[in-house]
Amino acid sequence: MMNINQTIDHTNLKPAAARADIARLCAEAKQYGFASVCVNPCDIPDAVALLADCPVKVCTVIGFPLGRNTTAVKVAETKDAYAMGCEEFDMVINVGRLKDGDVDYVRSEIAAVVEAAGGRTVKVIIETGLLTDEEKACATRLACEAGAHFVKTCTGVSVGAATVEDIRLMKANVTGNVKLKASAGIKTREAALALIEAGADRIGTSAGVAIVE
């Protein structure tokens, strides 16, 4: 039987998150056996130290939240996070370039971040709330072609939230062993289970404790 705890990326990306908040996040992740904690880049060293004695991974965000940084900046962020001990990287695509139809740009940028991550897990945030169904399918395929390990729905900062319909659409367009992460607006156990049933392998949420309890 599936353990929902092991699907959760326990998240605190708030701009005012203090060290005490990150310590609490890590303690909860250890207590409940979550998959990872997802924190802003400046919080990586604290999270790595706090989770050194357990299997919970440290995840960070790249190009967050707009995805409008240059590729060079996203690559530098990834390398910096890698050097600090980060194990998973959730990168935001350049949605505008996708809407331009510049698929080569989007694909090559994802591939550059994947290379910078040195074999560690890269999750590609396509920001579903800003996309048509055709664009969601295209972005999912591009992430797979570029070597990503996961395709993720949303940042939770822009419009939109994870939906069963989007996960199903993305599932229909993934190739190889690429997995799916549903993120944004997931507050209840019922919502999380519905997304997992639709095909999500990870759940990104700041409500992890409420969901499992």
3-state DSSP assignment of residue 105? helix
Which residues carry out catalysis?
Answer: 90, 152, 181
Distances (CA, A) of 1 to 4, 56, 187, 197: 9, 20, 22, 13
Whether the CB-CB separation of 155 and 177 falls below 8 Å is answered with: no
Whether the CB-CB separation of 169 and 136 falls below 8 Å is answered with: yes
Sign of CA dihedral 49, 50, 51, 52: positive
